[in-house]
Structure 1
């Protein structure tokens, strides 16, 4: 094949596009969840699209407090099943309730709320609380940087600290 023929072949060929695989955070959004359900630092993930079985890996274990009242702990590997608005059979995420660490087993999205189940109890939180991924060690309050969110009061937007 001559150089001219090769050049014409390349010129007339459709452009080659390379699409990067979506991140674990983008996959959460695809299933109608906010990315803040996972802390910053997910190094890899796997998803079996046919069953919804997933695995997400952190660079080690991760713990932090949110708003001074909830302590969360993530193991280096988080597993479970994901479908639209449902995370089930979770392993690797726990929350401290009083003096005990309880595993978060399911997260179900119902409208603008997320229901977190630890088996014997369920707690509901607004989806708005999970738009930003917390950071291991300091949660949402790192280096004196406070995450702010927009609140509507009497039709006028105002910014307040979380």
Structure 2
């Protein structure tokens, strides 16, 4: 009877060890995935975020994506784009919804990007929802992650923290 108990507890330990190793290996696989690879896996172009991403967190259960940069920075797609130190969005296949921390310059006014989506990859079009309008851009602008230049001294002038409609130079 004692031999049977040892065998059962040994089997239990072995099962726990196997589960632990499989969980650890799945974490290492997902953590080796860059945010640019994650975007491609989710049907979006890698160049939506700059090369200078320091780290990111993605919750696969609720889709929350948080991207961390060393600091605010400025780059250009078709127009100039401003990234805050932290960019948040809900990531699902082909879209970033509820985007925070990203603004695009339109006619000398900085507008928050609220949503980015690729409805049909074959169309070659990506849609940016900037509140007042949806802007269609060529997917080819976003093939490679752009370099983003650090920008210090930018201030939101909307008066509401986190809800800025613009940035002043």
Question: TM-score, normalised on structure 2?
Answer: 0.67
User: 1:65: Cα distance to partner?
Assistant: 3.2
Structure 2 counterparts to residues 3-152 of structure 1, below 5 A:
19=29, 21-66=32-77, 70-111=79-120, 112-137=124-149
The Cα offsets for residues 97-154 of structure 1, whole Å up to 9 and x where unpaired, read as 112110000001022211000111011112122101110129xxxxxxxxxxxxxxxx
Q: Deviations over 1:53-92 (max 9, x none)?
A: 110001111102345xx11100010001000001100001
Unaligned runs of 5+ in 1: 1-16, 139-162
DSSP-derived class of the 2:147 partner: coil
Q: Could you list the runs of 4 or more consecutive aligned residues of structure 1 that deviate by over 2 angstroms after TM superposition?
A: 17-21, 64-67
1:45 to 1:86, Cα distance in 2 relative to 1, 3 A = same
Bigger CA drift: 108-117 or 76-85?
108-117
Contact 2:115 2:128 in 1 (8 A): yes
Aligned to 1:141: none
User: In the aligned structure 1, how far is the partner of 2:76 from the partner of 2:40?
Assistant: 23
Distance 1:62 1:43 in 2: 13
TM-score, scaled to structure 1? 0.69
Counterparts of 1:60 and 1:71, CA distance in 2? 17
| C-alpha separation in 2, matches of 1:25 and 1:55 | 13
Q: How many equivalent pairs are there?
A: 121
